[in-house]
Structure 1
Amino acid sequence: MTVHPVTPAFDGSHIDGSLFTAITDLARDTRWLNSPLEMWTNAGLGVFAVLMLIGWWNARRRDTRAMTLALAAPVAVAVAFAIAEVAKKLITEVRPCYSLPHDYFVSPCPVRTDYAFPSGHATVAAAAVAALWLLDRRLSVVAAAFAVVECFTRVYLGDHYPHDVVGAVVLALPVAYLLSRVLGRVAVPLVARLRAGALAPVLTATPAGAQTTR
């Protein structure tokens, strides 16, 4: 019989396990809040999609660079998330429910190979904030408020340590910002052609010939 070696997983409880326990103790003492936050933690990701859709809708009335930034936003979020998933596989930090099994957990414990660092939910939230900052700062501020709630729920429910969400933010903000900034420049000619072609009804709210590019 062939024995396959088991890849050792990193135990993050030594970093901020006490803070994690304090927050999950709060969840134990506020059980009336458990179900609403458990529903929100996944459904809340839709808020960032809605904010990006609003950014796209408003960009239809703006110049081509604004529309380019609007189209770049979901791309930047997706790339940041992909990088976070690769980081998870490389770092292999085991979930808190395995390292601190006696703590209070709202969320069920996932399979052991579903690693913790960085938080995917927090990555999406922070990346949306960064991408929207270049497009519409008011939308970005709204996204930031929801991102704070999203990050808190990941710890409150027991899915992640605080450093998992902090690490996700540190990763996602520069990646999404820089990628959006690059795409917001290099993809302008392509988006200008699309606005003047068959996609004009989707990418502009006024006749294509009236659009200003820069």
Structure 2
Amino acid sequence: MTAGSALLAFDGSHIDGSLFTSITDLARDTRWLNGFVEWWTNVQLGVFAVLMVVGWWRARRRDGAAMTLALAVPVSVGVAFACAEVVKKIVAEQRPCRSLPHAFIVETCPVPNDYAFPSGHTTVAAASVAALFLLDRRLSAIAVLFAVLEGFTRVYVGAHYPHDVIGSALLALPVAYLTSLALRRLATPAVTRLRERLPIPLLVAADHRPSDGEPVRPADPTHATRATPPAHATPSDHSTPSERATRATQSPPSHGPGRHARR
């Protein structure tokens, strides 16, 4: 198949061009928002980086498998992005700004060989969702919200068709998820051993407590708990021998019952 036939076969304007123009018409009606959205659609990728850092920070207090998943998140995102770039070269879909020159486009039209399908930004967002899902469900839920917003802003600024965004998610989610699963299975033993031999803050927190299955480090003998001395059964007399002798001489002699002293 030639490049020209590929362009004709995957021209987004024939797939969901009407939906695309509906969203870009919204951008035309909200020109006051264009500048911010164009800025945010790129800066928003930093949110996923922050979520990755938070996941890694929490994993320092968890077991080796969690730390492996934390380290695997950026790797999984990178693998998904690389796959998307390969697909992008194969499909070679023109950007909307070239297929629909009369549509309202916020973002500057890229060079002709910068193709549309799939969306690289959305690939990063969706891959982050999948990789974080295995590490921390709460962080993944936050990532979902920003991923949806990322996909919408890519269409809003006119950089991608809706199917570019959807296709990115369908590609990135399984790739990132399976990559993280594979890395957890293959690399957890190595990461666990590294945490034992090199307990630096990058891999393990100072207050980390080993979970079941993790070896427990020997306790520091300087912090060993001292045994509690046994309690005395009865109170003892702490007076000195001379004091006891003085008390004995001052005490009157005891007399048996019925006896009286005679002069």
* TM-score > 0.5, shorter chain as reference: yes
Unaligned runs of 5+ in 2: 215-263
Who wins on radius of gyration, i.e. which is larger? 2
Secondary structure of 2:62's aligned partner: coil
Question: What do the CA deviations read for 1:38-69 (whole angstroms, capped 9, x no partner)?
Answer: 11111000000100000000000011111011
Q: What per-residue deviation string (whole Å, max 9, x for no partner) do you get for residues 91-112 of structure 1?
A: 0000000000000000010001
SS in 1 for 2:3: coil
RMSD across aligned C-alpha pairs, in angstroms? 1.5
Residue 179 of structure 2 is matched in structure 1 by 179
Matching residue of 2:210: 211
SS at match of 1:203: coil
Q: CA deviation at 1:198?
A: 3.4
Unpaired runs of 5+ residues, structure 1, are 1-5
Amino acid at match of 1:7: A
Matched residue, 1:23: 23
8 Å contact 2:61–2:207 — kept in the other structure?
Answer: no
Q: How far apart, CA to CA, are the structure 2 residues paired with 1:32 and 1:138?
A: 34
State whether residues 64 and 211 of structure 1, in contact with CA within 8 Å, keep that contact through their aligned partners in structure 2.
Answer: no
Amino acid at match of 2:3: T
- Letter of the structure 1 residue corresponding to residue 210 of structure 2: Q
Q: How far 1:180 sits from its partner (Å)?
A: 0.7
Q: Shift of the alpha carbon at 1:197?
A: 3.0
Q: CA deviation at 1:207?
A: 6.8
In structure 2, the residue matched to 1:167 is 167
Which structure shows the bigger proportion of residues in helix conformation? 1
Is the 1:194–1:200 Cα contact (8 Å) retained in structure 2? no
Q: Which has the higher contact order (CA 8 A, sep 6+)?
A: 1
- How many angstroms apart in 2 are the aligned matches of 1:176 and 1:104? 34
2:3 corresponds, among 1, 7, 17, to 7
Q: Shift in Å at residue 211 of structure 1? A: 3.3
Q: Given the two structures, how large is their TM-score scaled by the length of structure 1?
A: 0.93
| Identity across matched positions, percent | 66
Letter in 1 for 2:92: T
| 1:57-97 CA-partner distances (Å, limit 9, x unpaired) | 00000111110110111100000000000000000000000
User: How many correspondences in the alignment?
Assistant: 208
Per-residue CA distance 1:28-47 (angstroms, 9 max, x = gap): 00011111111111100000
Give the aligned partner of residue 57 of structure 1. 57
> What TM-score, normalized to structure 2?
0.76
* Residue identity matched to 1:159: A
**d(CA) in 2 for partners of 1:36, 1:207:** 42
